[in-house]
């Protein structure tokens, strides 16, 4: 209310501006007026002074990149759910942002219209940076667009010089230089307007933006895909060279006119089209010699580097899995997964050794009275995530299996909430399904231990009576923070885990 009734017209409102103004006026605005002060005010008003006018704060608001987790420093726009000019209401999801390890819908806190989008799909921005502008009414849309283009406008002058360098690099330019000469005569003679359509293609080739980026509205992208129009050959008419739907439609109209000529040329050599199509992907692959980390890979990178600061030790043991395999075979038709069964067994063992479930903050132990199993899952587009099975030691195996299937499905579609992949107290990494028999896992920051599980394979073993038999066995390796877990603690935990897995009947409850 303070912002809407008392601040001067700034045409731009954000929390920082309003907060500063509120700090300056709060003592005056929040002080209850006395009878004398009210009388004095009335007296001044009656003398003929001009009545006070309440100024309304700006109707244009910036849409900021939100902080979706405590570790998030920048976000990537996955997709805009609303298009420029579209009306939105408070609570509507307007954009999908990729955080460290999940894609999350971002809602608007105000009613209004999406005036302009300044950070397009696939682009990144720092937390707190503006990614778009919201206008309260349609009348403010033009003003919002002007605000969005104000900063880039200053950078607009440099583009001309940049355009000059761009022409020299390509060797073919000499030919284009000859082309401009005929273009002048064409301009002198009005009759040749028909040939002129061939001239428009050259201008689109150089992108309107100096940085070479292709910026288009979400609707323009969808339309371009539908009409099969190459956005890189269109000069945007929107602010900052942004390509709009009308630009795409215009380009599509020109393409259809030029289409007849193309078939005629390609009629003699139909194989020419595929030949041109194949080089394009090849060029794309050549340019992808360096590929930047996506949000998830950046998070993994930071976590792994941070883990190097933790003093760890490793201890391993061999566990016979015949009984566990038999139990799994029995429960599988009921929807129980091996991951859930292993997680349950590990959680039960962890619950008996609180120090294994503890963490260290550098000053002491952090003990938990619950066991949240974080299980590593590889992501299709790179990186990994650790969905959390909460209270794994007390949750029944059937519910745990259902929870796990749901978590994996949402993890791979990047729909997990931070609480579902950042609250693990013990981590399980299983590469047994890939045939890996033994490996060491890297400790996840914020936890005290991680268990690496290898494949269960038939092994020739000697019984206590000296007889020889074949049993299925697997290797498990524990990596632990030596500040909280000592060698004896790790050995005792593995002994308990071995007992639980080799006698798994108690896991079904």
- Based on its alpha-carbon atoms, the radius of gyration of the chain, rounded to whole angstroms, reads 33
DSSP H or E segment with residue 4 = helix 2-6
Q: What pLDDT sits at residue 227? A: 83
- Distance, in Å, from the CA atom of 184 to the CA atom of 348, rounded to the nearest integer, reads 83
Pairing of strands 426-430, 373-375: parallel
CB 238 within 8 A of CB 250: no
| Catalytic status, residue 39 | no
Q: What pLDDT sits at residue 343? A: 96
- DSSP character string of 460-496: EEE-TTS-EEEEEEEEEEEEEETTT--HHHHHHHHHH
Phi, psi at residue 339, to the nearest 5°?
Answer: -60, -45
What's the sign of the alpha-carbon dihedral 462, 464, 465, 469?
A: negative
CB 344 within 8 A of CB 328: no
CB 474 within 8 A of CB 315: no
- Distance, in Å, from the CA atom of 413 to the CA atom of 380, rounded to the nearest integer, reads 10
CB 240 within 8 A of CB 148: yes
Local structure of 7: helix, strand or coil? coil
Beta carbons within 8 Å of 134's beta carbon, 6+ residues apart = 60, 61, 62, 63, 88, 108, 110, 112, 113, 114, 115, 144
DSSP H or E segment with residue 21 = helix 15-29
What does the pLDDT profile of the chain (509 residues) look like in tens digits? 334 333 333 334 444 444 444 444 444 433 444 444 444 444 444 444 444 444 445 578 888 888 877 667 788 888 898 888 888 888 888 888 887 667 788 888 888 888 888 888 888 888 888 888 888 888 878 888 887 776 443 333 344 444 444 444 455 444 444 344 444 444 444 555 555 544 444 444 434 555 556 777 767 777 887 788 888 888 877 666 778 777 888 888 765 444 443 333 333 333 333 333 333 333 334 355 787 777 777 778 888 888 888 999 999 999 999 999 999 999 999 999 999 999 999 999 999 999 999 998 888 888 999 999 999 998 877 778 899 999 999 999 999 999 999 999 988 888 888 889 889 999 999 999 899 999 999 998 889 999 999 999 999 999 888 899 999 999 999 999 999 999 999 999 999 999 999 999 889 87
Beta carbons within 8 Å of 205's beta carbon, 6+ residues apart = 233
Active site residue: 12, 39, 55, 482, which one?
A: 482
Secondary structure letter of residue 427 according to DSSP: E
The tokens describing 377, both together, are 């899952």
- Distance, in Å, from the CA atom of 307 to the CA atom of 447, rounded to the nearest integer, reads 10
- Distance, in Å, from the CA atom of 339 to the CA atom of 347, rounded to the nearest integer, reads 12
Enumerate the β-bridge partners of residue 460: 470
- Distance, in Å, from the CA atom of 291 to the CA atom of 287, rounded to the nearest integer, reads 9
Beta carbons within 8 Å of 5's beta carbon, 6+ residues apart = 54, 55, 56
CB 313 within 8 A of CB 482: yes
Q: What pLDDT sits at residue 228? A: 82
pTM, full prediction: 0.54
Pairing of strands 359-360, 60-64: unpaired
- DSSP character string of 393-405: TTS-HHHHHHHHH
Beta carbons within 8 Å of 397's beta carbon, 6+ residues apart = 331, 336, 340, 341, 344, 507, 508, 509
Local structure of 61: helix, strand or coil? strand
Local structure of 175: helix, strand or coil? helix
The tokens describing 380, both together, are 């299709």
Q: With 0-12 CB in 10 A as exposed, 13-18 as middle and 19+ as buried, what is 224?
A: buried
- Distance, in Å, from the CA atom of 182 to the CA atom of 202, rounded to the nearest integer, reads 13
Contacts 24+ apart (CB under 8 A), 14-19: 14/61, 14/62, 18/57
């Amino acid at each position: 209310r303070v912002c809407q009734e008392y601040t001067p017209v700034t045409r731009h409102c954000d929390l920082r501006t309003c907060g500063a103004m509120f700090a300056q006026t709060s003592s005056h605005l929040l002080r209850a007026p006395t009878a004398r002060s009210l009388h004095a005010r009335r007296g001044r008003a009656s003398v003929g002074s001009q009545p006070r006018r309440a100024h309304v704060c700006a109707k244009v608001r910036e849409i900021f990149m939100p902080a979706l987790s405590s570790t998030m420093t920048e976000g990537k726009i996955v997709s805009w759910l609303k298009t420029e000019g579209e009306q939105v209401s408070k609570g509507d999801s307007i954009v999908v942002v990729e955080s460290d390890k999940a894609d999350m819908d971002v809602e608007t806190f105000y009613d209004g219209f999406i005036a302009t989008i300044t950070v397009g799909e696939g682009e990144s921005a720092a937390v707190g940076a503006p990614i778009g502008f919201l206008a309260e009414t349609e009348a403010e849309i033009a003003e919002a667009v002007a605000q969005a283009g104000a900063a880039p406008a200053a950078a607009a002058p440099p583009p001309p010089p940049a355009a000059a360098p761009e022409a020299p690099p390509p060797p073919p330019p000499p030919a284009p230089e000859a082309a401009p000469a005929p273009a002048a005569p064409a301009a002198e003679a009005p009759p040749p307007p028909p040939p002129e359509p061939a001239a428009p293609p050259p201008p689109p080739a150089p992108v309107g933006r100096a940085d070479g980026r292709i910026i288009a509205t979400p609707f323009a992208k969808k339309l371009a895909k539908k009409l099969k129009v190459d956005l890189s050959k269109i000069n945007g008419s929107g602010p900052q060279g942004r390509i709009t739907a009308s630009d795409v439609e215009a380009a599509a109209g020109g393409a259809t006119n030029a289409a007849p000529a193309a078939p005629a040329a390609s009629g003699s050599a139909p194989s020419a089209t595929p030949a041109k199509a194949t080089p394009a992907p090849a060029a794309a692959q050549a340019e992808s010699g360096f590929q930047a980390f996506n949000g998830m890979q950046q998070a993994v990178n930071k976590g792994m580097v941070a883990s190097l600061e933790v003093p760890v030790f490793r201890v391993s043991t061999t566990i016979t899995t015949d009984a566990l395999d038999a139990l799994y075979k029995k429960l599988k038709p009921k929807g129980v997964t091996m991951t859930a069964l292993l997680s349950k067994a590990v959680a039960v063992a962890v619950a008996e050794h609180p120090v294994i479930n503890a963490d260290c903050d550098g000053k002491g132990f952090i003990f938990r009275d619950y066991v949240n199993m974080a299980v590593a899952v590889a992501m299709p587009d790179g990186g990994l995530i650790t969905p959390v099975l909460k209270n794994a030691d007390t949750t029944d195996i059937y519910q745990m299996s259902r929870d796990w299937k749901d978590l994996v499905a949402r993890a791979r579609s990047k729909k997990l909430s931070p609480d579902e992949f950042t609250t693990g107290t013990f981590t399980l990494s299983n590469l047994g399904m890939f045939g890996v028999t033994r490996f060491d896992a890297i400790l996840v920051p914020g936890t005290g231990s991680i268990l690496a599980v290898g494949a269960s394979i038939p092994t020739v073993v000697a019984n206590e009576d000296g007889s020889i038999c074949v049993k299925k066995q697997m290797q498990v390796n524990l990596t632990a923070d030596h500040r909280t877990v000592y060698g004896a603690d790790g050995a005792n935990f593995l002994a308990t885990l071995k007992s639980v897995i080799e006698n798994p009947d108690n896991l079904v409850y």
